[in-house]
A and B are shown apart, each in its own frame.
Chain A
Amino acid sequence: MANARLTAEQTVIAGIRLLEALSAAPGQTLSAQDATVRLGIDSAQLGQVVETLSALSDRSSGARAAVELAGDRVVLQGDAALIMPRRFSLEESMVLAHVLDVLDLDDDTRERIRRALGPVDGRAERPGIAEPARYGSWFSQLSEAIEDGIRCTMSYRSLTDDTARERLIDPLSIQEEHGDAYLVAWDVQKDAERRYRLDRISGLAFTDESVDAHEVGTLDIAESLHRAGTSTRLRLRAGASSFMLDWAGVADIVRSDDGSTEFTLFYSSKPWLFDQVLAMGGDIEMLEPAELRDELLVYANALLDSISNG
């Protein structure tokens, strides 16, 4: 179904963008389909924009904006309506500043981009948009390595490490799960696919080698946890907060008549699992395996000791 006719403001926005795109296009022409995609409008709305632009004229010079739809193409004739690409508007600069901020691009890159494209008065340096940090400090380099197939050395501190240690990896992709961002990579020494939380990466360097071809899994985190196969059966007490049922590794949920809920949880880190169980303060019980219950008690005592001795 066709969208409504564009408002005056939308016509102005689309009109400027179309002139910009036509000015930059070879021969000052674009396919109508390309133009609708670029402007985010439908073909009827494109007709409205072209009609408006074709009516632009300058009485003193006699110049007019010769924009027309010729078959399935939009064409700009002559030089009168050519415009250079604009700097980003305040709105776009706010978004851009946030993107650069949240992905933690380095200060020099930010400054070069801001100088080339941002408002000259430096507005929008504080965009007023926020979100919890999730990408760490290496997103830019990692995404370049993924795009170009570069093998990397990475300094990473896992949950079981006291300090970061070096790994040789082939970066594959970046995934998100419940507000955290993960690098999916091939651990070359372990010859296996692994996931690394981006905010735990403390160093990254490109090697001179290219990545090998791997049987790359397209599994999401839940599927990956299930495949790893380490699981426990848990029971959530009636009336307890049930946010953990949204976790990626949860399966086989069974609700009982007494209001309690039993479920299987696939996990990759025992300390993480124990912490979540302890943080529930008795609202959740680990049913099996039995040896994991014993390990939980040992872990809990060690935690209590750490605070007594700390």
Chain B
Amino acid sequence: MLESDTTAQPEGLELSETALRILNLLFILNASSVPLTTEQIISDADVGYGSANRASDLKKFKRDREKLAERGVIVKEIRPEGAQRTEESLWTIDRSSTYASLGAISRDDADALLRAVDECLSRSDIPFRRALLDIRQRLQTMTSREAVPASLDASPSHQESRAAETLWSAFALRRKVRIAYIDAKGSESQRTLAIWGMFMQDGHTYYVGLDDQSGSVRTFRGDRIVRAWRPTGSYAIPSWFDVRDYLFLPFDLGAGLATKVSFTIPAAVDAAELKALTKERGELTCDESRGAWVWTVKAGDVTEAARFALAHAQCGMRPLAPQKLVNAWKACIDKAVAAHG
């Protein structure tokens, strides 16, 4: 079941009026066979505008268009060719941008998509479960498929904290969000975050974003965010940012500067297994003289990198460089052998 927003005010007359006005705007534009003028819309008291303050109504109309756009309903402005700047605009729903192309998705594609969505829904570590259920239900509407299986229909409010829902909403809408965060040492801080990306790993959700307190891009573990306030203030994500760079490896953390380490992996290892092993971090090149892949990545802790290579030795992974890595790998084996000698 839906719960109220983290910081939502008690439902009152004003909120009901806002919902009614936005839905009425959709209704009149959807029902009209011709575009409507700005004046027709903002002078209509039945829709929810038509106050004595025209400027205020124009602002409400703009906000309402933006709210509808967030829900995938695109209201477009039409200015007839040659129209004067002083002439008022016409408004209509951009049908090709708003409505799905019925018939364009085949039964096979819909089936493939539903199976993929159901697989994700069967997992408990997904922070955007509500959106997945929405996608499934929309597909159900489009394809007359069966309802969501009861086993997948867990209510998100039971699975996700309110903070997680707010964080997801902030990220989806690109709004900054103030959070209360408890770090690994137990210290609580409040900071404002522009979330650039999120990732799920080892049963946790992590949010990566520009943190106002440090002025740098930081990663925050979801279960340590104990409160999130109403998102406010927009931002853009730099085009160079790739959240996949933040998937972590067990040898990332360490004191001092990171060291570039290289491993060989047999050429027979398939691309999918390589992706799973390397988390798509670092650089992977094919060394034909060795008949192997060479994976080069930064390690914060060289000993941990050696242990990682040993833990994956059965797939043919071996340390290559620097010698410090190879020595750490050998030392690890020597210690294990000594313990069994």
Contacts and interface: CB of A to CB of B under 8 A. Distances in A.
A248 B146 CA distance: 35
A59 B50 CA distance: 12
Interface stretch (B80-88, B220-228, B314-322): B314-322
Contacts of A60: 28, 32, 40, 44
Q: How large is the interface on B (under 10, 10 to 19, 20 to 34, 35 or more residues)?
A: 35 or more
Interface stretch (B51-59, B64-72, B180-188, B293-301): B64-72
A6 B241 CA distance: 36
B2 interface: yes
Given A174-B119, A310-B318, A87 B135 contact: no
Contacts of A310: 264, 318
B332 interface: yes
B23 A120 contact: no
Given A11-B16, A59-B44, A99 B73 contact: no
Interface stretch (B210-218, B243-251, B252-260): B243-251
Given A37-B153, A81-B31, 19 more contacts: A10-B2, A16-B26, A16-B71, A38-B137, A38-B140, A61-B31, A84-B99, A84-B102, A85-B142, A89-B70, A99-B116, A99-B132, A131-B199, A143-B115, A157-B273, A159-B314, A279-B310, A300-B336, A300-B337
Contacts of A133: 272, 275-276, 279-280
Interface in B1-55: 1-5, 8, 11, 15-16, 18-20, 22-24, 26-28, 30-32, 40, 44, 46-47
Interface stretch (A213-221, A249-257, A270-278): A270-278
Contacts of B78: none
A282 interface: yes
B109 interface: yes
A57 B243 contact: no
Given A99-B117, A200-B270, A307-B330, A89 B71 contact: yes
Interface in B113-131: 113, 115-117, 119-120, 123, 128, 130-131
B286 interface: no
Interface residues of A, number: 120
A157 B70 contact: no
Interface in A112-154: 112-113, 115-117, 119-121, 126, 128-137, 139-140, 143-144, 147
A144 B112 contact: yes
Contacts of A136: 272-273, 276
A64 to B, nearest CB: 9
A166 interface: no
A105 B20 CA distance: 40
Given A40-B133, A282-B338, A293-B340, A85 B141 contact: yes
A70 interface: no
B171 interface: yes
Contacts of A119: 72, 97
Nearest to B196: A128
Nearest to B150: A37
Given A163-B268, A282-B339, A87 B142 contact: no
A8 B335 contact: no
29 contacts: A4-B4, A6-B2, A6-B4, A38-B137, A55-B20, A56-B23, A57-B46, A61-B32, A63-B31, A84-B100, A86-B98, A88-B72, A92-B72, A94-B131, A117-B100, A128-B237, A129-B243, A130-B198, A136-B272, A144-B115, A157-B270, A159-B315, A179-B203, A199-B276, A272-B314, A274-B314, A286-B340, A300-B333, A307-B329
